[in-house]
Amino acid sequence: MLALRLARGSRPLVQLRRLLVAAASAGTGFLLLYVLAQAVARPAGSFPRLLWALVPLAVTVQFAVAVARTDPATRPREGLDAAGLGPVRITLVAAISTAVACTLGSAVALAAFLHLRGDVAGLPFDGAGAELLHADRPLPVAAALTLLSLLPLAASAATALALRPHPPTAPQTGLPWGIALTASGLAVEAYAGRGGAGAVTGWALTALGLALAGPGVAYACGALVQAVRPGALRLLAGRTLQEEAPRLGPPLGVLCAVGAGALTSLALRDRGGLDVPLGPLTGPAVALVALCAAATLLTSAVEVHQARAAAREALAGLGAPGAVLRTAATLRATALVAVCVPLSWCVAQLTSLALTR
């Protein structure tokens, strides 16, 4: 009840972010139900389809966690310990709020799926969706509910893990592991080729490696900004970027992986393209992954912007003009783009070579 009251009393922008989580959950849930219907109609190849469908689920979970971190209700406040809202209770409230938003999206997905199949009230769109969703085959209710429960459970568990108190780690710590995982993913792709479960496994390892390496890459961007006789502006931009690296790094790495995947598909367009066995929903699934990755990065940027409020007030109190802060933010964004675009291109080239060996 407390989580619902806090959600109901939140500001419109916070509610909008929660609705975006619900919308992403609805898209992911619909895709999972489609994979289930395909498995019932054509069991052959159902496992690779399920693995590819787990990619949108993973980025949706990441987006839900990012939204939970920016929620004002999840920030510790003075006096709340006396009311029984310590760090553990606040984490529980955030996990429940995330689960509610994801469950709402899953319910919308189920209702839309059943409506398009004609299981609720007639066939809309002259029955165009009935054949696509295999309305002639019964849908296993237990399997459908199990698949739809994956996202709320995973998102709430990930939120609880992300918000638990833990000591900070250096951004460069994950860089060697990220490089190793990325190399492992490329090796798996080279061994498995474009089809089957090996391709999605290799891409997942590559994306996980880039996510782990992301904080180190962002930290290196901050060091690059400060290189060679930096002035006050470059020092401010570089030091701030290095402080933001632990928050911006993981979503930045995932977005780089999505960009590398898009560039790889373009490079292989004349050779049959990537073998993503999701049928007509391949395009919407790719769009969902890209939008969730971009939204996660923007949400993380909002989080670090909120965390810098005290620093901005201190600089304003010292007489720093607003143009300096805006220029520093532009410089940080330019440095990230200048490093991450070539990084995505290099990973795409290596992936193309691995898949066309």
- Annotated domain spans of the chain: 1-166, 171-357
pLDDT in tens, 188-213: 988 877 666 778 888 899 999 999 99
Rounded Cα gap, residues 324 and 211, in angstroms: 31
pLDDT value at residue 40: 85
d(CA 175, CA 137): 48
Q: CA–CA separation, 328 vs 235, rounded Å?
A: 9
Segments of the chain assigned E as strands: none
Of 356, 354, 357, the C-alpha closest to 183 is: 354
- Residue labelled with tokens 């220029």: 327
Which pLDDT value is given to residue 357?
65
Q: How far is CA 321 from the centre of its chain?
A: 35
Task: For residue 109, give the 3-state DSSP assignment.
Answer: helix
Tokens (6 digits) for 165: 């108190």
The answer on pLDDT for 112 being more than 80 is yes
| Residue pair 25/102 in contact by the 8 Å Cβ criterion | yes
The pLDDT of residue 126 is above 60: no
Q: Which amino acid is at 126?
A: D
* pLDDT tens string 320-347: 777 888 888 899 999 999 999 999 999 9
* Confidence label for 183 from pLDDT (cuts 50, 70 and 90): very high
User: Lowest-pLDDT range, 97-101, 123-127, 216-220?
Assistant: 123-127
Q: Is 162 left (phi over 0), alpha (psi -120 to 50) or beta?
A: alpha
The residues, any chain, with a CB within 8 Å of residue 136's CB and separated by 6 or more, are 130
Q: At 193, phi and psi to the nearest 5? A: 80, -160
